[in-house]
Structure 1
Amino acid sequence: FFSTPKGRHCEVHQMIGNYMWDQKTNLSFDIGVNKESLLPLWWNGSEPLWVTMTKEKKKVFMYYWPGCEVEILGVRPSYCREYFSVPTDKNFADAISDALESLRNGSADMAAVYYERIDVEGHHYGPSSQQRKRALKEVGKALSNMITLIKSKGLQHDINVLLFSDHGMTDISWTDKVIELKNYINMSDTIQMKDRGPVVSLWPAPEKHAEIYQKLKAVEHMDVYNIQNIPDRFFYKKGKFVSPLTLVAEKGWFIVE
């Protein structure tokens, strides 16, 4: 959600995931959960589109977009409808309607709306689930209504609409494709662990780093990287919040504590 509006890889803009830890300050970033996640510490690594536009005296309206409530590089958007919980389909429809009206009446030069239901249903039930498919159908309805609204407001020749998604998904099996780290290492030998799923960040106690690395290296269906060995194609390892060990599951597998 942050690489796209910034136009940069995460090792440049520093937002490497939804869950991060800064070892220097002992502060955590847990998206949508803790107040510390709103600190400029996490967000000031690069300039997102709405900040660039605001600096150019353009008016930007943001709806449910994570980070729009944060002062980034000293700048906030003209309007931010904060994300508190998963927006409902009605929230999404209302946001589209409000965004189009703000563009029509000149209140905004750009409007951005974040819709999370496809992501949520996919994470909970899998990308092939009926729940995820129903969510996509609801988006289709909302976009159809949006086109009708655009025409009714006479905006069809005046605005550009961009649709984008920030990641894909794959199905997993909870019964036989889960890697439990506690089965391979003593978790008390670690200082911090962030996230779970296909990618996990792990901070071993310094004196246990080599031992933990070797033990996890032997685990099947998972790659373990020291920072310097993270593949360049990830555009990840230069990030200042990257952990000493990064665990990457094989497609279809899931990593937990």
Structure 2
Amino acid sequence: MLWTLISTTVVLQSVLQATSAVSNKVLLVSMDGFRHDYLTKAETPNFDKMVAEGVTMSYLNNTFVTNTFPCHYSMATGLYSESNGIVGNRMYDPELNSFFTMSTTDSAWWDKGEPVWITARKAGLKAGTYFWPGSEAEIQGLRPTVFFPYNTSVPFEDRVNTVLKWLTVDDFDLAVMYFHEPDTSGHAFGPDDGRMVPVIENMDVVLGWLLQGLDNSTLKGKVNMIVTSDHGMTNIDLQNKIIDLSNYVNNTLLHSLVDQGSIAQIRPQPGMDNQLLEALSGIEHMQVMLKENIPERFHLKNNKRVMPLFAIADEGWTITDNVTKARMRKYKGNHGYDNNLETMKPIYIARGPAFKSGKIVRPIESVDIYPLICYLLDIQTAPNNGSLDRAATLLKYYGNAVPQLSSCSHLLWFLVIVLILTCTLLEEHF
């Protein structure tokens, strides 16, 4: 009888431990421009450790346009760019009659999506953000519990120490953090340059600080951590692979380019949409189309901030209306290209009590990260384009396999108590 009691209690305790993963803390980390195959280019013991202890995939299926702000905000909101309104790093809104840059924090630009830190705050949780696009804006009258104005000069180690303090001393439920490498170096050197090796290895050191901080504290085994990125990187050649639209049209047809590079958001002069399209059609290494003809798979065209004409360059090519200005950046690498290209695919690794261990699963989509984090925090999602069923392949338990903690933990302990009382009464009777 005693052995049955012990065995049953152990089983129930195991189920409790499994379900408790659902409501544990979450740490979301983005290393900008970390291409999915960078781990094959350098020695990365800490990434190797996280892969061995967690779950990964060959790459993450990210959203288009494959630039920093659109991809990061899609991860945060679970919405495609046409739904959350962040369609580029630079935008024009015809209703606001104003331009957006990467320093814009006006709430009017961020009002079409609910990022996960706002969802957490609405649920009464503590959520901190360290330099995530959109985190400086007030959204639905709320802000993160703690956030910082973007500042690239803050040392990476300081950022790590702050976030670890949030999760330990300050008892935050959600921490979201961003690093601008290896993106900055990828632009400067190109992804295949040997100088990228120490950059990748330095980001491995940063990951090591996080892993050590989590494993050598009261947080051990209690944090579900996701390390991912917004996009990849490819080689470009600004001397030989550049498309200068000023060679084909002038300001009688072309008003301006709102955004340019791997893509171009093109404003025609009033009433000149079709004439400008005809003038730009047939240019080699570039596809140009009316807004309404943007492929559905890009999830981009149904937004007022997408210009009447849209162009996308072939991989490695650059679109501009000012060659001199374009070459001033001296880039050797860039992104923003078709998100089906493998060079545009980012990394994804997850580790923690809710995740599988030592597994490689099929790629999920970046919009799935939002509902996944909400599930881990046991909070209700806002409307989104993601799929928790798709993301569930990462999880040890999901759906009917193990009930949610909130609905079963008290019941399980009640059963343990009933079992103990039953066994006691039976022993007294016999």
- TM category, shorter: over 0.9
SS in structure 2 at match of 1:206: coil
Give the corresponding residue for 1:18.
89
RMSD in angstroms over aligned alpha carbons? 1.5
What whole-Å deviation, never above 9, does each CA across 1:148-185 have from its counterpart, x for those lacking one?
A: 12122131211111111111221111221111111111
The corresponding residue for 1:212 is: 276
The amino acid that maps onto 1:29 is: F
Deviation at 1:124, TM superposition (A): 2.5
Pairing 1:101–2:165 present: yes
Partners of 1:57 and 1:226 lie apart in 2 by 44
User: Post-superposition shift, 1:26?
Assistant: 1.9
- The higher radius of gyration belongs to 2
Distance 1:197 1:132 in 2: 22
Pick aligned residue for 1:39 from 88, 106, 111? 106
Kept in 2, the 8 Å contact 1:64–1:87? The answer is no
SS in 1 for 2:235: coil
In the superposition, relative to structure 1, how do residues 134 and 256 fare at CA in structure 2: closer, same or farther (>3 Å)? farther
Q: Does 1:166 align with 2:233?
A: no
SS of equivalent to 2:92: strand
CA distance in structure 2 between the aligned counterparts of 1:129 and 1:188, rounded to whole angstroms: 42
Of 162, 177, 186, the residue aligned with 2:241 is 177
* SS of structure 2 residue aligned to 1:21: strand
Among candidates 224, 229, 241, match of residue 288 of structure 2: 224
Question: Match for residue 347 of structure 2?
Answer: none
Higher-RCO chain (CA-CA 8 Å, sequence separation at least 6):
2
Measure how far apart 1:204 and its partner are. Answer: 0.4
For 1:64 and 1:29, locate their aligned partners in 2 and report how far apart those are by CA, in whole Å: 18
Cα offset, 1:188, TM superposition: 5.5
Aligned residues: 250
**How far is the alpha carbon of 1:87 from its aligned partner?**
4.3
Which runs of 5 or more structure 1 residues have no equivalent in the other structure? Answer: none
The equivalent of 1:148 in structure 2 is 212
Matched residue, 2:80: 9
TM-score by length of 2: 0.56
Is the 2:259–2:266 contact (alpha carbons within 8 Å) kept by the matching residues of 1? Answer: no
Pick aligned residue for 1:52 from 119, 123, 128: 119
Q: Secondary structure at the match of 1:140?
A: helix
How far apart in 1 are the matches of 2:285 and 2:135?
37
1:129 to 188, 193, 197: 193
CA contact (8 A) 2:253 2:275 kept: no
Give 1:44's aligned amino acid: D
The 4+ residue runs of structure 1 with deviation greater than 6 A are: none
In the superposition, relative to structure 1, how do residues 214 and 46 fare at CA in structure 2: closer, same or farther (>3 Å)? Answer: same
The answer to whether the aligner puts 1:83 opposite 2:147 as a matched pair is no
| TM-fit CA distance, 1:250 | 0.7
CA contact (8 A) 1:64 1:113 kept: yes
Match in the other structure for 1:28: 99
Give the counterpart of 2:128 among 57, 61, 74.
61
Cα distance in 1 between the residues matched to 2:177 and 2:204:
15
2:257 aligned partner, one-letter code: M
* Matches of 2:251 and 2:191, distance apart in 1: 31
SS in 1 for 2:272: helix
Which amino acid counterpart does residue 26 of structure 1 have in structure 2? N
Structure 1 pair 44/133, CA: closer, same or farther in 2 (3 Å)?
Answer: farther
Give 1:206 deviation, angstroms: 2.1
Whether contact under 8 Å (2:267, 2:309) holds in the other structure is yes
The answer to whether the Cα contact below 8 Å between 2:190 and 2:235 also exists between their aligned partners in 1 is yes
C-alpha contact (below 8 Å) 1:65/1:82 kept by paired residues: no
Local SS of the residue matching 2:266: strand
Which stretch shows the higher mean deviation, 139-148 or 98-107? 98-107
1:147 & 1:18 partners in 2: Cα distance? 31
Q: Identity of counterpart residues, as a percentage?
A: 32
Q: Which residue in the other structure is 1:118 paired with?
A: 182
Distance 1:124 1:189 in 2: 34
Given that 1:179 and 1:256 are in contact with CA atoms closer than 8 Å, whether structure 2 keeps it comes out as yes
Q: Which amino acid aligns with 1:137?
A: E
- Superposition TM-score, scaled by structure 1 size: 0.92
Query: How far did residue 99 of structure 1 move?
Result: 0.7
Separation in 2 of the partners of 1:38 and 1:173?
A: 33
Q: Distance in 2 between matches of 1:112 and 1:87?
A: 18
